[in-house]
Structure 1
Amino acid sequence: MYENLLNISDAAKLLGVSPSTLRRLEKNGNIEEYGLKVIYTPGGQRRYIQDDIQQLYSNQGFSEQIGFGEKPAVLIRDLTIAFTDPHSQLSIKLENQISATQQLIEEALLQKIPIIFSITIYKSDNLVSRLWSGKFPLLQILDRESTWVNIHPALSEYPYDMINHSVYITSLYDNQVDAFLKRQGIDTIILAGATTSGSIRATAVEALQKGYRVIIPKETVGDRNQTLQNSTLIDLNARYADVMSLDKVLKGMKP
Structure 2
Amino acid sequence: MSPAPAAGEDGFGGALPPGARPAVLVIDLMRAYFDPASPLCLPSTDCLRSAGRVVAAARGHRIPVLHTRVAYGPGGVDGGLFVRKVPALRQLFDGGGAMGQPMPQVCPADDELVLVKQYASAFFGTSLASTLRAAHVDTVVLVGVSTSGCVRATAVDAIQHGFVPLVVREAVADRAAGPHEASLTDLQAKYAEVISEADAVAYLSEDR
Shared fold, TM over 0.5: yes
- Per the TM alignment, residue 159 of structure 1 is displaced from its structure 2 partner at its CA by 4.2
* 8 A Cα contact 1:123 1:167, kept in partner: no
Matches of 2:71 and 2:111, distance apart in 1: 18
Amino acid at match of 1:115: V
Note closer, same or farther for the CA distance 1:131–1:61 as it changes in structure 2 (3 Å cut): same
Matches of 2:75 and 2:99, distance apart in 1: 19
1:83 equivalent among 33, 52, 59: 33
Q: Greater Rg, structure 1 or structure 2?
A: 1
2:43 counterpart residue number: 93
- Per the TM alignment, residue 126 of structure 1 is displaced from its structure 2 partner at its CA by 6.3
1:234 aligns with 2:185: yes
1:15 counterpart residue number: none
1:165 aligns with 2:165: no
Amino acid at match of 1:244: I
Secondary structure of the residue aligned to 2:68 is strand
1:178 counterpart residue number: 129
1:249 counterpart residue number: 200
* 8 A Cα contact 1:100 1:220, kept in partner: yes
1:143 aligns with 2:97: no
**TM, length-normalised to structure 1:** 0.74
Secondary structure of the residue aligned to 2:166 is strand
Matches of 2:76 and 2:87, distance apart in 1: 14
- Per the TM alignment, residue 232 of structure 1 is displaced from its structure 2 partner at its CA by 0.5
Note closer, same or farther for the CA distance 1:34–1:127 as it changes in structure 2 (3 Å cut): farther
Matches of 1:230 and 1:33, distance apart in 2: 25
* 8 A Cα contact 1:98 1:154, kept in partner: yes
Matches of 1:148 and 1:113, distance apart in 2: 28
Amino acid at match of 1:187: D
Note closer, same or farther for the CA distance 1:94–1:160 as it changes in structure 2 (3 Å cut): farther
| 1:97-133 Cα shifts (integer Å, max 9, x gaps) | 1110111111101111111110022224666503111
Matches of 1:93 and 1:67, distance apart in 2: 33
* 8 A Cα contact 1:80 1:151, kept in partner: yes
Matches of 2:116 and 2:124, distance apart in 1: 12
| 1:142-190 Cα shifts (integer Å, max 9, x gaps) | 1244100000122226445201111132111234222211110011011
Q: How many residues align?
A: 205
1:104 counterpart residue number: 54
Matches of 2:67 and 2:57, distance apart in 1: 16
* 8 A Cα contact 1:120 1:166, kept in partner: yes
* 8 A Cα contact 1:116 1:160, kept in partner: no
Q: Which moved more, 1:196-205 or 1:90-99?
A: 90-99
Note closer, same or farther for the CA distance 1:157–1:239 as it changes in structure 2 (3 Å cut): closer
Specify every segment of 5 or more residues in structure 1 that has no aligned partner in the other structure, as ranges.
1-31, 36-54
Specify every segment of 5 or more residues in structure 2 that has no aligned partner in the other structure, as ranges.
none
Secondary structure of the residue aligned to 1:118 is strand
2:150 equivalent among 192, 195, 199: 199
Q: Which has the higher contact order (CA 8 A, sep 6+)?
A: 2
